[in-house]
Amino acid sequence: MKPRHPAPLNALRAFEAAARCLSFQDAAAQLFVTPAAVSHQVKRLEAYLGVELFKRGHRAVALTAEGEALAASLGELFGKLDLALDRATAATTADLRVSTMESFAAKWLAPRLHRFHRIRPDLRVRIETGNAHADFVRDGVDVAIRYGAGAYAGVDAERFLDAAVFPVCAPAVLGDAARPLATAHDLQRHTLLHDESAQGRPGVPGWSDWLDAAGATRVSAGEGPVFASIYLAQEAAIAGHGVALGVAPLVAEDLRSGRLARPFELALDNAYAFWIVRRRGAAANPAVDAFCEWLRGEAVGET
Check residue 93 and give its pLDDT: 47
Check residue 302 and give its pLDDT: 66
Strand-strand pairing, 192-195 and 226-227:
parallel
User: What would you report as the CA-atom Rg of the chain, rounded to the nearest whole angstrom?
Assistant: 25
Query: Measured between alpha carbons, how far is 268 from 260 in angstroms, rounded to an integer?
Result: 18
Q: In which order are the strands placed within the sheet that holds 124-129?
A: 124-129, 95-100, 143-148, 273-279, 155-162
Per-residue pLDDT of the chain (303 residues; tens, 9 = 90+): 556 667 788 889 889 988 888 888 888 888 888 888 899 999 999 999 999 999 988 777 899 999 899 988 888 887 777 666 656 655 444 689 999 999 999 999 999 999 999 999 989 999 988 776 666 666 778 999 999 998 888 888 999 999 999 999 999 999 888 899 999 999 999 999 999 877 878 899 999 999 999 999 899 998 999 998 889 999 999 999 999 999 999 999 999 999 999 999 999 999 999 999 998 877 778 999 999 999 999 998 665
- pTM, rounded to two decimals: 0.68
DSSP conformational letter for 168:
E
**Degrees to nearest 5, angle at CA 219 with 218 and 224:** 155
Check residue 91 and give its pLDDT: 46
Query: Measured between alpha carbons, how far is 127 from 119 in angstroms, rounded to an integer?
Result: 18
Check residue 140 and give its pLDDT: 77
